[in-house]
Chains A and B, each alone.
Chain A
């Protein structure tokens, strides 16, 4: 079998599908870190989001209400992280890790409590790909775009808007100022706590959205540990993207591609062990997190609580 046959439109479409949840989460953590708060809890928040989306969809039969629920739950978890790390000045890594640990236990517990099923939820309604009629006949573009659902477009749109807000509006300038030197920002009348809360809650909402994509768009159910480290991959993408939404988008597409490629290679049965192929996106993340990209772009005050004194 010709190995080059995996490089087709299907691969591109799978790349975008794989990247979409990462893009949401990566934009969220980019904002949180730009404001000076690191949120490794995105991994757990994604999982909570995925579960909430399925739970609400199960009862309402409408996956969009499920998505909304995931965003709200994500925002609430973001609020908890904001409160502990900004107001209580707790160690941000520890609080984030606590959220991740909760996410291991609670959804699994609720799976049994609600449905009495240990590994996965029942099937629920899911979000279907859009069909844009006028694109259908175009080569490449037609099959590529008509295989995606609305959330994929929303992710790309969010990256563009996120970039514009962060770098071309006073709000974005204030967020970056607070993440670089909160005291300097404070002296010119910028409300450090308010902006940090806003950004951390936003990062939770975006992670919830990314999680919802996994459960009610990509699949139509929740399965145990279904995020598989995507929250951490999103953080890797943020670093790869030098803490910019557009850069993160690019990095997420790269990770999505790595994931799609390993799946495609598995499907055609190349003689590389599948376990090894599956590590591909994680190895990329590791390289990014190891600072291969250079640390210089990190906001100076990230991880440090601000004490008004």
Chain B
């Protein structure tokens, strides 16, 4: 997917004025946020479980090479082929090679962030393969030439009327805006795709090293279809997906679904450990698992390693006041919201996603929602520091911060600065008693979208002195 993160300020401005988007986002994030709170409030001990889940993921990150090898041995033993890919191009080439080897023409896909990240659909189509996304939301996004805007709710930005018009235009469906009717229509279309495809592609939510198992979590059942019906099943999984044991999986999968949609468990948790056994009555004849690095091993070497613990539940998106207002597209890449603001710069270079670390008020709602307690505010602050060190901060900001630092370390300068601000804001105060425009670079951004209250006529220190004198 094309990276457009540096356009965040402009994209966010447009999103804020989009009334339909604002309605959809309020409903989507609001519902998901409440559902998570309900689901997490009924567990034995939410914080202890989050610590347990976090420890499982961090432990796996430490022991990553051994766990990947163990996973590989265990699943290969049962006939799956494990392949490794350094980057997006290598991964896409592997999938195309597999398709050629098995004379594949039609591919069905289940939702996967990793395949969005590497632009797999585009690569497969360029190689002459037909690719159908089968998650309902992703199918709609694909038909519309759009991109998903949420990790778990890909079309949270769309209304039923938009889906009605899309199905009528692209599929010739008799218009209806009843989600039940729209879904039944899509079921028929997609069932045909499942039955005619020679290859199914899925991502993985977890790879269990202990048993060599790929875990695919879906509600619709499309993950099971893609991994059961076509003769060839290809799994594309980031290397950070591996976990140690079945015991770790028991905690993680339940926190994943509770955090993502508020469900105690998603409808289908599919644990797949290789192609159909010789005496299985159904199932794929060939299974390939591609372990994708694409920058992950480099991130693991840095102070940002914790970001790799993310299990892609989307809870931080729903909790974030910035995401709630601008939606996923404004972030300009595959991963949006608070975790996207961390991962996008890490995977693409901080200069290529410079506005994202600032797309946060650092309120901490993301960390509070995260089932593995990733310290997202801290990671965002460190990315801001990296931007300054890379010379990517505005000279006005640096000068301003330097002046502020001097003023804060001298009582006299502090008082003088206060007096100057008081005079300046009073001079700028408009008829409504507020400052409507600050004619100074950077500070002026404040008044683009809202007024600034003028400084009080007397400072606290002044009032204090007067009080002392009076008594």
Is the pairing of A and B real? no
**A interface residues with partner B (beta carbon < 8 Å):** none
**B interface residues with partner A (beta carbon < 8 Å):** none
